[in-house]
């Protein structure tokens, strides 16, 4: 066959890297986390190792440090062009993905690494859980079985929060969520005061809304992001990790009398596993396929996990 005759080129908006190819991009980035640091950052049943930090997270922190520095330079140049007073615009990183994918660990590890770069000492993290409607509202609206779906969030409040942070407003408040009581904590908030970097972690943060027909501006959450990450794994692995976490929590947090899930602590293993799989399939899996997974292609970076929780493939959007 004539070698000049080729099939159609496979077009992709991403650069694709194997684990080893991505790891090589670390260059001389130093490891600034210890094993003790890592043990405090990882979530339950997320067996992240220092080797994973070296192979995946150090190259990512190096890339983000370069992006942040470039964006800071562009912001200052724009300020000079406009003749504006010197201000500060935080760099916002969005982290999306399914329940049980490991978003919380990723976000916490990246916060720790980025805060050790000299030009971004103030790195903060917010989860969108705090912007869920309180359980009382969800129950009244018949949405408790759709908690985590887009309609279960106070989207207007989340947009106001991000708009204020992006504008450099001082002392912006975000509500607090308790995974113990499975509810927003009344009258409690956390304050963000002009961070260098803000990491926003949540299920649906890359979900676009429907644009208005009159052409007026209608911002999406992702409009405020300078960079976004989607953490991906296949359905079977996500279910396995979710069930394992549920079973582990029965021996720990679920036994707390204040826990929303206290009713599951004393079930037999078989009954508890059946309930976990039912919750996964009726709520989390449905949310994944209807709302979360379709946003994967909107991310700047896609990290794909294998069965052992290790990142096996990295896709970086082309500039």
For 48-100, write each residue's pLDDT tens digit: 899 999 999 999 999 999 999 999 899 889 888 988 876 778 999 999 999 99
Closest CA to 287 of 157, 135, 97: 97
- Given a cut of 80, whether residue 215 has pLDDT beyond it is no
Bridge pairing between strands 227-232 and 123-127: unpaired
Closest CA to 14 of 270, 243, 281, 299: 299
Confidence of residue 35 (pLDDT cuts 50, 70, 90): confident
In percent, the amount of the chain with pLDDT more than 90 equals 77
What DSSP letter does each residue of 107-128 carry, written as one string? Answer: HHHHHHHHTTSTT---EEEEEG
The pLDDT of 147-166, averaged and rounded, is 97
Q: Residue 243 — left, alpha, or beta (φ > 0 → left; ψ -120 to 50 → alpha)? A: alpha
Instruction: List, in order, residues 6 or more apart from 147 with CB less than 8 Å away.
Output: 132, 138, 283
CA distance linking residue 283 with residue 20, whole number of Å:
36
- Given a cut of 80, whether residue 2 has pLDDT beyond it is no
Q: What is the pLDDT of residue 60?
A: 97
Bridge pairing between strands 91-97 and 197-201: parallel
The pLDDT of 283-290, averaged and rounded, is 98
Closest CA to 245 of 118, 102, 114, 112: 102
SS3 79: helix
Q: What is the pLDDT of residue 1?
A: 40
Q: What is the pLDDT of residue 3?
A: 45
For 220-277, write each residue's pLDDT tens digit: 999 999 999 999 999 999 999 999 999 999 988 889 999 999 999 999 999 999 999 9
């Amino acid at each position: 066959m004539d070698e000049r005759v080729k099939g159609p080129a496979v077009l992709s908006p991403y650069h694709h890297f194997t684990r080893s190819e991505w790891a090589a991009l670390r260059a001389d980035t130093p490891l600034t986390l210890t094993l003790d640091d890592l043990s405090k950052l990882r979530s339950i049943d997320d067996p992240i190792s220092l080797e994973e930090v070296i192979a995946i997270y150090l190259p990512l922190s190096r890339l983000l440090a370069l992006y942040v520095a470039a964006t800071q330079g562009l912001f200052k140049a724009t300020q000079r062009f406009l003749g504006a007073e010197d201000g500060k615009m935080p760099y916002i990183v969005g982290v999306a993905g399914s329940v049980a994918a490991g978003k919380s660990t990723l976000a916490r590890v990246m916060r720790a690494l980025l805060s050790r770069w000299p030009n971004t000492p103030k790195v903060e993290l917010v989860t969108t859980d705090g912007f869920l409607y309180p359980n009382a509202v969800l129950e009244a609206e018949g949405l408790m079985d759709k908690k985590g779906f887009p309609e279960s969030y106070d989207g207007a409040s989340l947009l106001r929060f991000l708009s204020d942070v992006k504008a450099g407003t001082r002392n912006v408040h975000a509500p607090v969520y308790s995974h113990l009581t499975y509810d927003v904590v009344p009258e409690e908030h956390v304050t963000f005061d002009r961070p260098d970097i803000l990491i926003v972690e949540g299920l649906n943060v890359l979900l676009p809304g429907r644009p208005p027909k009159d052409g007026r501006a209608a911002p999406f959450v992702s409009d405020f992001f300078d960079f976004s990450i989607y953490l991906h794994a296949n359905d079977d692995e996500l279910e396995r990790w979710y069930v394992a976490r549920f079973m582990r929590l029965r021996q720990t947090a679920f036994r707390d009398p204040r826990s929303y899930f206290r009713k599951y602590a004393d079930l037999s293993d078989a009954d508890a596993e059946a309930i976990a799989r039912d919750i996964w399939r009726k709520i989390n899996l449905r949310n994944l396929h209807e709302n979360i997974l379709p946003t994967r292609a909107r991310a700047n970076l896609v990290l794909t996990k294998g069965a052992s929780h290790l990142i096996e493939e990295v896709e970086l959007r082309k500039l």
